[in-house]
Amino acid sequence: MDSSLPDRVVTDPDVARTYGVDHSPGAVAPEAFTVVRARDRADVVEVLQYAAAHRTPVVTQGARTATTGAAVALEGGIVLNTEAINQVEVDPVERIAVVGPGVVNGDLKSQLTAYGLAYPPDPASSGSCTIGGNIATNAGGLCCVKYGVTADYVRGLEVVLAGGEVMRTGRRTAKGVTGYDLTGLFVGSEGTLGVVTEAVLRLIPAPDPPLTVLAVFDTLEATLAGVTALREQRHTPSLIELLDGPSVAAIQDYGDYGFPAGAEGVLLVQSDRVGHAHEDVMAYADALTSAGATDVAVADDRAEADLLMEGRRALNPALEARGSRLIEDVCVPVGRLGDLVRAVHEIATRQGLEATCSGHAGDGNLHPCFFFDQDDAAQVAAAQAAFGEVVEAAWSLGGTLTGEHGVGTLKAPWLERELGAAEVARQRALKALFDPLGIMNPGRVFG
């Protein structure tokens, strides 16, 4: 790149290679690509002017935790990393934070504690993923059941478009209905419309530290009855996570987290309601016992609450330790969760694979996971077939192919079947309006 950004361009090939892939299974970095670590909006403008002039594809990147291939470098393209644009300005009166896209989600949360404020969206990757990536994927997480997703907290954006034009969307104020909601259009657009260089985020008063209930069930049916019982509570839990039997076994194989052998389901439930968390978790425990839990543990204080969550936190490392896997991200109506878990187990058995099915039960958003031997072509094919069958199962249950991870490249082949040809054509036309040269993350979302 003949730009004036030599110190922003990563020249060490070994370092550059680490920017080649995201967390998607089997991602392969291309042979040749240029990595630019932007430090501010001016850097982004310069890169996008260069890219337009040379018709070069641009993949914007945060922390590369995407599981869909959305942040994988493209051959001959530019990787535009925004992690270093990470300023944070908090306005406690307006309850907003104006942040750079590179701020790590967990770091923002930590900085807000000094103001008694909170930014709720909490992907399980919050220790490393960035706000820019969260906005581009409309990230969810564990507490969405009570607080909603990233889109519910983005009031306005500064975006640099292909060619270098800077545009602003939305507002800083609590209300505003001037014109179309272009902020909403950019949230979840997976880097295909422009580069987010600043965001105005809505904050809330910090809730109480959550207390936890852990309930063990010996049948899947009773576990799902527990979820239904929680839906009947007057106060929405701040977290309802489900582990199916194979997930519990995988976690116990990874380390002793105290789950009994033979558990066919575990629910983790929290309340952070100011002044009422203890009362809430006692009510949740009663409801879960009535639903058929065989063992219920209630945390009395924050340390115990964290301890009860340890097994859930071990899920991702436990699954990673089992080797190659394809992770799904479908979302179904909460009332159809049991049908989804049963469908995943049936698909796995038929395809001769092992599978787990766990996730955000309160939102109907589960992450079925199929394990396979990468050196066995038949197993690779079986896992790919299972991946597609889960999408079909989610549709048949009234659900959608992605709840929070996005489409990326992995799910692009199914986009048109969910949206229909006319809707995809309208969305492509929208992309062309903002990116007429088609150089912003090409191939992602639309395939």
Which is closer to ligand FAD, CB of 77 or CB of 265?
A: 77
Q: Select from 121-129, 248-256, 294-302, 348-356 the region that touches ligand FAD (CB under 6 A).
A: 121-129
Q: Does 60 bind ligand FAD (CB under 6 A)?
A: yes
Cβ-Cβ contacts under 8 Å for 397 (sequence gap 6 or more)? 332, 333, 336, 339, 340, 343
Q: Does 140 bind ligand FAD (CB under 6 A)?
A: yes
Site for ligand FAD in 302-361 (CB under 6 A): 316
Choose, by CB under 6 A, the member of 36, 48, 63, 277 that binds ligand FAD. Answer: 63
Give per-residue burial for 138-169: e unless 16+ CB within 10 Å, then b.
bbbbbbbbbbebbbebbbbbbbbbbbbebeeb
Q: Does 239 bind ligand FAD (CB under 6 A)?
A: no
Please answer whether residues 155 and 183 qualify as being in contact, where contact means their C-beta atoms are separated by less than 8 angstroms: yes
Measured CA to CA, the distance from residue 95 to residue 114 in angstroms comes to 13
Q: Select from 135-143, 333-341, 371-379, 420-428 the region that touches ligand FAD (CB under 6 A).
A: 135-143
Measured CA to CA, the distance from residue 263 to residue 270 in angstroms comes to 20
Which is closer to ligand FAD, CB of 191 or CB of 368?
A: 191
Q: Does 71 bind ligand FAD (CB under 6 A)?
A: yes
Which is closer to ligand FAD, CB of 137 or CB of 270?
A: 137
CB of 167 to ligand FAD, least distance (A): 13
Which is closer to ligand FAD, CB of 318 or CB of 386?
A: 318
Q: Does 188 bind ligand FAD (CB under 6 A)?
A: no
Alpha-carbon distance values, 233 to 237, 277, 288 (Å): 8, 13, 11
Q: Select from 124-132, 200-208, 281-289, 370-378 the region that touches ligand FAD (CB under 6 A).
A: 124-132
CB of 239 to ligand FAD, least distance (A): 11
Please answer whether residues 325 and 372 qualify as being in contact, where contact means their C-beta atoms are separated by less than 8 angstroms: yes
Measured CA to CA, the distance from residue 210 to residue 432 in angstroms comes to 45
Measured CA to CA, the distance from residue 239 to residue 237 in angstroms comes to 5
Q: What is the DSSP letter of 75?
A: T
CB of 34 to ligand FAD, least distance (A): 16
Q: What is the DSSP letter of 130?
A: B
Q: Does 66 bind ligand FAD (CB under 6 A)?
A: yes
Please answer whether residues 329 and 367 qualify as being in contact, where contact means their C-beta atoms are separated by less than 8 angstroms: yes
Measured CA to CA, the distance from residue 239 to residue 122 in angstroms comes to 11
Q: Does 70 bind ligand FAD (CB under 6 A)?
A: yes
Question: Position of tokens 């936190």?
Answer: 313
Q: Select from 188-196, 280-288, 386-394, 418-426 the region that touches ligand FAD (CB under 6 A).
A: 188-196
Choose, by CB under 6 A, the member of 64, 273, 345, 431 that binds ligand FAD. Answer: 64
Question: Position of tokens 């070069």?
Answer: 56
Element at 96 (helix H, strand E): strand 96-99
Q: Which residue is nearest to ligand FAD (CB)?
A: 133
Q: Does 65 bind ligand FAD (CB under 6 A)?
A: yes
Q: Does 133 bind ligand FAD (CB under 6 A)?
A: yes
Choose, by CB under 6 A, the member of 34, 125, 212, 270 that binds ligand FAD. Answer: 125
Beta-carbon-side half-sphere exposure of residue 236 (alpha carbons within 13 Å): 11
Give the count of residues interacting with ligand FAD (CB under 6 A): 36
360 CA to centre of own chain = 11
Choose, by CB under 6 A, the member of 20, 57, 101, 311 that binds ligand FAD. Answer: 101
Site for ligand FAD in 377-436 (CB under 6 A): 404-405
User: Nearest-CA neighbor of 64 among 5, 132, 118?
Assistant: 132
Q: Select from 55-63, 168-176, 337-345, 372-380 the region that touches ligand FAD (CB under 6 A).
A: 55-63
Which is closer to ligand FAD, CB of 151 or CB of 385?
A: 151
Question: Position of tokens 């150089």?
Answer: 439
Please answer whether residues 400 and 418 qualify as being in contact, where contact means their C-beta atoms are separated by less than 8 angstroms: yes
Q: Between helices 337-351 and 377-396, what is the axis angle to 10°? A: 160
Token digits for 341? 């878990």
Cβ-Cβ contacts under 8 Å for 40 (sequence gap 6 or more)? 85, 197
CB of 121 to ligand FAD, least distance (A): 8
Choose, by CB under 6 A, the member of 22, 339, 363, 389 that binds ligand FAD. Answer: 22
Choose, by CB under 6 A, the member of 107, 158, 190, 339 that binds ligand FAD. Answer: 190
Which is closer to ligand FAD, CB of 191 or CB of 226?
A: 191
Measured CA to CA, the distance from residue 195 to residue 83 in angstroms comes to 12
Which is closer to ligand FAD, CB of 269 or CB of 285?
A: 269
Choose, by CB under 6 A, the member of 24, 356, 379, 441 that binds ligand FAD. Answer: 441
User: Nearest-CA neighbor of 321 among 377, 369, 386, 361?
Assistant: 369
Q: Which residues bind ligand FAD (CB under 6 A)?
A: 22-23, 59-67, 70-71, 82, 101, 123-125, 129-130, 132-134, 136-137, 139-141, 190-191, 195-196, 316, 404-405, 441
